Amino acid sequence: MEKFRFKGVVFFAIGLIAVFLQGCGATGTSTFSPAFQAISPTQIAVVSVSGDIRGEAPKNQVEDFFAMEMMQKGYRIVERTRVESILAEQDFQRSEVTTAQGAAEIGRVLNVSAVVMLDVSVSGEQVSLTGRMVDPETAEILWIGTGRGGTGKTLATITGAAVGAVGGSRVRGSSRVPVTIAGGVLGGAVGHALAPEVADIVQRAIREMVKDIPRR
């Protein structure tokens, strides 16, 4: 009987790791307006990062991830300090640049071909992002992209928790194994917005979100 219990715990642990690996993937989609190709934007500015993340550091990290992906595609990105300076000079509130009209107004001052607004949501083990690119002249939305993916503890942590639970089961019996594994793996999964594992999936989700944007 003990042998069968042990095998059951092993299969449970392997299944849990498999679920984690599936959840670490990221997907993304893009939709373009007919004006995107006509304008063919090359220089862009990220004017807002909104959502349920708090603090400048994580927002800056999200912006940097986006800038890195776009620069690899050949786009020129306005430095963040330049955007911040213009926002201060124009006395813009943060909430104003989360709308297409407000973002377009800042884009005209910056003299860029397009402005981008990013929205990030982190809920438990899920991350979702939305990006919008706006024409500064008309406030028309040129592109909307979404990205999403699952987050969680690192594989090493999960493997360690599973192995520990398997070892413990041989001493304590199988009745406590699911609780041990769930507590070790799922407990604390909800952390700071850009904990290392969250930052990794955000970067992957952004990569998927912008993958259909043409290179320059």
Note the residue count of the chain: 216
pTM of this structure:
0.71
Instruction: Quickly state the pLDDT bin for 3 (edges 50, 70, 90).
Output: low
Residue 152 has a pLDDT of 54
The 10s digit of each residue's pLDDT in 136-159 is: 999 999 999 999 998 654 433 433
* One CATH from 3.40.50.10610, 1.20.810.10, 1.10.10.10, 2.130.10.10 for 33-152+190-209: 3.40.50.10610
pLDDT at 179 over 50: no
Instruction: Quickly state the pLDDT bin for 166 (edges 50, 70, 90).
Output: very low
For residues 148, 82, 99 and 122, what is the CA-based torsion angle, rounded to 10 degrees?
30
Q: What HEC string does 166-205 produce? A: HHHHHHHCHHHHHHHHHHHHHCCCCCCCCCHHHHHHHHHH
Instruction: Quickly state the pLDDT bin for 125 (edges 50, 70, 90).
Output: confident
Instruction: Name the average pLDDT for the chain.
Output: 78
Q: By mean pLDDT, which of 107-116, 117-126, 164-173, 193-202 is the weakest? A: 164-173
Instruction: Quickly state the pLDDT bin for 1 (edges 50, 70, 90).
Output: low
Residue 204 has a pLDDT of 96
